[in-house]
Amino acid sequence: MTTGEELPCAHFTVDKQNIALWPREPPTKRDQPLALRKPSTICVVLTFLTLVLVTSILLQSILYSWLLGTISNVRTNAQLLKGRVDNISTGSSEIKRNRGGLKVASTQIQKVNVSLNQVRSQLLILETGLEKANSQIQVLTRSWAEVDVLNAQIPELKRDLDKASALNAKVRGLQNSLENMDKSLRQQNDILQMLSQGWKYFKGNFYYFSHVSKTWYSAQQFCTSRNSHLTSVTSENEQEFLYKTAGGGVYWIGLTKAGSEGDWYWADNTPFNKVQSARFWIPGEPNNVGSNEHCANIKITSLRSWNDASCDISLLFICKKPYIPSES
Ligand code: 2F8
Ligand code: CA
């Protein structure tokens, strides 16, 4: 319909079939008489009814298809539910079977929990230790920085140390020299002290040339009272020193016999070397005059100066004692 003045018409398709309620090209309104206008109203009503009917049919067919799909879905869901119920019942029996296993598992879980608690405590301890370690690391880091500063000073310190070592070596040298000088001075002081008391020093020994005469035995007693003995003679040098210092005086020496006719021996226990000593006797001596000459003396100013004489005559005498440096 185009305007209110035009006659109603209907041309539509149902199930791909063309249904025409009015000719496609109706006659123009101007050509139709008034008597024909009522049938056109009927035609509109019919068309409307037809449309309702067709729409109803279409809706029914659509609803039917939808219902069929829905029913099919319900069936499928029912089957799925049935399957799930079956699974649940199967699971239920399995649950019953596994209940014992669950108890064991529960016990194990409890044990694991206990272990976990222990692990937690240990973790706490470890965390505490870690905190302490961290604080110590911080302290060490600060110390390390200080060490770096000190390290930077090492080369200079090494140079100072080298200088100090060199100085120390010099000081040690001087100290040794001083010690030697001190030792030497002390020795010289000891010797001077002995010299001031009338002793003479010769190659490590002190000798005392007496100013009074005594028998051999009394002379030996005098010497021992001064930590010495009548002198022994063990070398040509010593013999030369003694006879020259004696200066022609007759002095007892420490040579005597064991018993009246025994072998010669030294009073200070120095071993007597008869062969080496033979050169010191005055030629013809010892002659043991009167079989009573058991003690020896230095009689003349000569390397060969010894004579045996009676021990009971009084003569000057020579004491001898080794020089022993004092400890300090
Ligand atoms: O001629 C050597 C002889 O001279 C003296 O005796 C006369 C000596 N006596 C004394 O010195 C006491 C002897 O010993 C000595 O052998
Ligand atoms: Ca003699």
CA of 264 to the centre of ligand 2 (A): 14
CA of 306 to the centre of ligand 2 (A): 9
Nearest-atom number in ligand 1 for the CA of 293 is: 14
Judge whether 237 lies within some domain: yes
Judge whether 118 lies within some domain: no
Residue 293 near ligand 1, beta carbon < 6 Å: yes
**What pLDDT, on the 0 to 100 scale, is given for residue 113?**
86
**What pLDDT, on the 0 to 100 scale, is given for residue 324?**
95
pTM of the model: 0.55
Judge whether 229 lies within some domain: yes
Using alpha carbons only, what angle is made at residue 218 by residues 213 and 224, rounded to the nearest 5 degrees?
A: 110
**Ligand minimally distant from the alpha carbon of residue 315:** 1
Q: How many domains does the chain have?
A: 1
Nearest-atom number in ligand 1 for the CA of 287 is: 16
CA of 199 to the centre of ligand 2 (A): 28
Each of the 328 residues of the chain gets a pLDDT tens digit; together they read: 333 333 444 444 445 555 444 444 444 444 444 444 465 777 788 888 888 888 777 877 777 677 677 768 868 876 887 888 687 667 567 747 767 775 876 788 698 688 878 879 887 987 988 799 789 869 878 988 897 897 899 899 799 889 999 999 998 998 999 998 988 899 889 999 999 999 999 999 999 999 999 999 999 999 999 999 999 999 999 999 999 999 999 999 999 998 767 999 999 999 999 999 999 999 999 999 999 999 999 999 999 999 999 999 999 999 999 999 988 7
Nearest 10 degrees: Cα torsion 149, 150, 152, 155: 170
Judge whether 223 lies within some domain: yes
Judge whether 294 lies within some domain: yes
Whether 205 contacts 322, CB under 8 Å = yes
CA of 309 to the centre of ligand 1 (A): 7
Judge whether 184 lies within some domain: no
Judge whether 220 lies within some domain: yes
Using CA atoms, how far apart are residues 74 and 80, in angstroms rounded to an integer?
Answer: 10
**Structural domain span for residue 295:** 200-322
CATH number at residue 204: 3.10.100.10
**What pLDDT, on the 0 to 100 scale, is given for residue 321?**
98
Judge whether 312 lies within some domain: yes
